Structure 1
Amino acid sequence: MDLFDAINQRHSYRGPLLADPVPRTDLRRIIQAGLQAPSGRNAQTTEFIIIDDPVLLAKLQAMHPANQAMQQAPAMIACLIDRQPAAVYEGYNFQIEDCAAAVENMLLAITALGYASVWIDGWLRLEQRADRVAQLLMLPTDKKLQILLPIGRPAEHWPQKERKPFAQRAWFNCYGAEETPCQ
């Protein structure tokens, strides 16, 4: 699939997934897309756990009954960052940005391969869910689960939601300018 087609077709899919397993070759390709993402000062801070064990998946699925994609995913990817990140530039770290770039690359790869996913983040932040999932994944205490991506073949067609037009969100040379130069 062409990159721009993947961008146009990518959307958050929370619907039912087919039970077909996701081959490890595809999971590796998806992770490789995440590994290729840019990172601040090339620190490459984001780490991943690929989850395809049915017993472990069943435990994770039981935790999120409201999301069909989580309930039925034949695979998931956990994206990890450090709890106490080291500064990489002038006292700053960029772990959140690095993780987000990796996740977007993986979401595009997921779409290009014909799978669907949804970025699970807010749900993890509530009721210590990230910590509970981290225990299931046996994370070291210095690591934090930041994002969870359920992956599978969609059972339904969900079109991408309408986006605001270019002219409402992007301009040349200064905020709010039409095609004329800023003054």
Structure 2
Amino acid sequence: MNLFEVIKKRHSYRGAFTDQTVPREDLQKIVDAGLKAPSGCNAQTVQFVIVDDPETLGKIGQMHEKNLAIQQAKAMIVCVVDRDPKPVFEDLSFEVEDCAAAVQNMLLAITDLGYASVWIDGWLRREQRAEKIGELLGIPEDKVVRIVLPIGVPVEEKSQPDKKPFEQRAWFNQYGGTA
């Protein structure tokens, strides 16, 4: 697949996974794609924990009542950032942006390798789930789990939902412009 095919094919997958494991070689390729993402002032602040231990995956999976992807994941990538980000440019930090860029690269790599995933963020911020996962994974207290990507081979083929057309969301030279 070329880049534009991968972008078009990528979608959020919350369904069931097959029993097929995700080889560490593929997990390393996926995280390496995240490591190569742009980073504010090249500070490279985001860190990753790759989870492929079935017992640990099971403990995380039990935390979600509905999302089959979390419950049945054969691997997870946990994105970790500083709890209190340090400025890297004047008084600004870019950890959230850095994390987002890394996750997008990894989602594209996941799709290219034939796996599926979903960006888990808001769920982590409820009921202290980020802290519970952090404790389970031995993440230091000055760090926080920001995003989790459950990964596996999807049971069913799904496609990207319809997106609004270009003309409704993008313009040349002026917001809402026609020329």
Query: For this structure pair, what is the TM-score category when the shorter chain's length is used for normalisation?
Result: over 0.9
SS of 1:131 mapped into structure 2: helix
Task: Report the TM-score, using the length of structure 1 for normalisation.
Answer: 0.97
For the aligned residues, what is the CA RMSD?
0.6
Matches within 5 A, 1:88-99: 88-99=88-99
Give the paired residue count: 179
How far, CA to CA, are the matches of 2:10 and 2:39 in structure 1? 22
How far, CA to CA, are the matches of 1:73 and 1:133 in structure 2? 15
Pairing 1:108–2:108 present = yes
Matches within 5 A, 1:155-170: 155-170=155-170
- 1:77-114 Cα deviation digits (max 9, x unpaired): 00000011110112000000000000000000000000
Structure 2 residue aligned with 1:87: 87
SS of 2:8 mapped into structure 1: helix
Residue identity over aligned pairs, in percent, reads 59
How far, CA to CA, are the matches of 1:6 and 1:32 in structure 2? 17
Matches within 5 A, 1:128-167: 128-167=128-167
Stretches of structure 2 that go unaligned for 5 or more consecutive residues are none
Structure 2 residue aligned with 1:45: 45
- Stretches (4+) displaced over 3 A: none
How far, CA to CA, are the matches of 1:89 and 1:20 in structure 2? 44
Matches within 5 A, 1:47-66: 47-66=47-66
Stretches of structure 1 that go unaligned for 5 or more consecutive residues are none
Structure 2 residue aligned with 1:29: 29
- 1:121-156 Cα deviation digits (max 9, x unpaired): 010000111111111011101110000000000000
* Residue type at the aligned position of 1:128: Q
How far, CA to CA, are the matches of 2:82 and 2:159 in structure 1? 35
Structure 2 residue aligned with 1:10: 10
* Residue type at the aligned position of 1:107: L
Task: Report the TM-score, using the length of structure 2 for normalisation.
Answer: 0.99
How far, CA to CA, are the matches of 2:18 and 2:105 in structure 1? 23
How far, CA to CA, are the matches of 1:176 and 1:164 in structure 2? 14
Which of these two proteins has the greater Rg computed from alpha carbons? 1
Matches within 5 A, 1:68-87: 68-87=68-87
